[in-house]
Amino acid sequence: MLAGLVAGGDVVVLSGAGLSTESGIPDYRGETGRRRRADPMTYQAFTGSEAARRRYWARSHLGWRHIDGARPNAGHRAVAELQRRGLLAGIITQNVDGLQQAAGAAGVVELHGALHRVVCLSCGRRTPRERLEERLHAANPGWEAAAAAINPDGDAVLPDAAVEAFAIVGCERCGGPLKPDVIFFGENVPPARVRECYALTERAGALLVLGSSLTVLSGYRFVRHAARHGVPVAIVNRGATRGDEHALVTLDAPLGATLGALLAELDG
């Protein structure tokens, strides 16, 4: 039934962290996330405290190499191939790792932003993450720390002493505080981005959810929107999801193997 839905074309993909776990990036709510019990930084804490920003950047500076070194897996490549075949009307990702684009997909709507960009909270200037990493290296000569674990979004668990010894830097243009260009917990997705996703969803021939538990409203609302507009929903995820009641097809299965099999069935 999944192949039949996809073969009809005009499919909109909504991907979540489960699509990237096979690339070694943990998620918050799947099996890897439950083992880590991560306590993510909130927007309110980050903007309200220099100490919180220091904690975030020290941990993220160390964890960034894990994100930056990750490579697209079979699931990412399968989505890009579906797009290449003209079967997709759009791709919405909740992920901030850039792996879907690295696999060759184009026009991806980054619902929650991307870690490879940095934004100044004072002047709004956006700069590449690579430039910030160079500046952080220069500001912290000899700083080394061993991560106890890597949490989602490249957040490395560090001892307090390592965090306190870390020096952060400000915007090169205005000196303002820098933030990764991602949506933190407690922060709203820009309304124009949400409207774009709603429009894609209601025009879709089908909505294909890949690797998302749909626990938070940010992604779940598009499943509800599809159901309200009579758009069939298919969900492939490890474990049950909040959107299962709205789905015509649900598969509890590994993403890479399942999408590879889907391509093979479409070829047959």
Q: Which one, of 193, 224, 227, 218, lies nearest residue 28 by Cα?
A: 218
Question: What is the percentage of the chain residues whose pLDDT exceeds 90?
Answer: 84
95 marked as part of a ligand binding site: yes
| pLDDT for position 152 | 56
Structure-block tokens of residue 81: 């191939």
CB atoms within 10 A of CB 265: 13
Strands, sheet with 126-128, edge to edge from the N-terminal-most edge strand: 126-128, 113-120, 178-182
pTM, two decimals, is 0.91
151 marked as part of a ligand binding site: no
- Which of the residues are catalytic? 112
Please give the distance of CA 6 from its chain centroid, rounded to a whole number. Answer: 23
Residues 152-166 as b/e (b if ≥16 CB within 10 A, e otherwise) read bbbbbbbeeebbeeb
| pLDDT for position 146 | 54
Check if the beta carbon of residue 171 is closer than 8 Å to that of residue 123: yes
Please list the residue range(s) of the chain that carry CATH number 3.40.50.1220.
1-25+72-112+189-268
CATH numeric code, 1-25+72-112+189-268? 3.40.50.1220
| pLDDT for position 136 | 96
118 marked as part of a ligand binding site: no
Check if the beta carbon of residue 75 is closer than 8 Å to that of residue 259: yes
Q: Which one, of 176, 43, 184, 169, lies nearest residue 120 by Cα?
A: 176
Q: CA-CA distance, 34 to 41, in Å (whole number)? A: 17
186 marked as part of a ligand binding site: no
User: Residue 44 — very low, low, confident or very high, per pLDDT cuts 50/70/90?
Assistant: very high
Ramachandran area for residue 49 (φ above 0: left; ψ -120 to 50: alpha; else beta): beta
Higher pLDDT, 33 or 217: 217
CATH numeric code, 37-69+114-182? 3.30.1600
Identify residue 164 by its one-letter amino acid code.
E
Write the pLDDT tens digit of every residue in 119-150. Answer: 999 999 999 999 999 999 999 998 876 555 56
Specify burial of residue 65 (Cβ count, 10 A radius: 0-12, 13-18, 19+): middle
Please list the residue range(s) of the chain that carry CATH number 3.30.1600.
37-69+114-182
213 marked as part of a ligand binding site: yes
- Bridge partners (DSSP) of residue 235 are 209, 250
Instruction: Kindly tell me if the per-residue pLDDT of 164 is higher than 80.
Output: yes
212 marked as part of a ligand binding site: yes
Q: What is the mean pLDDT of the chain?
A: 92
Instruction: Kindly tell me if the per-residue pLDDT of 41 is higher than 90.
Output: no
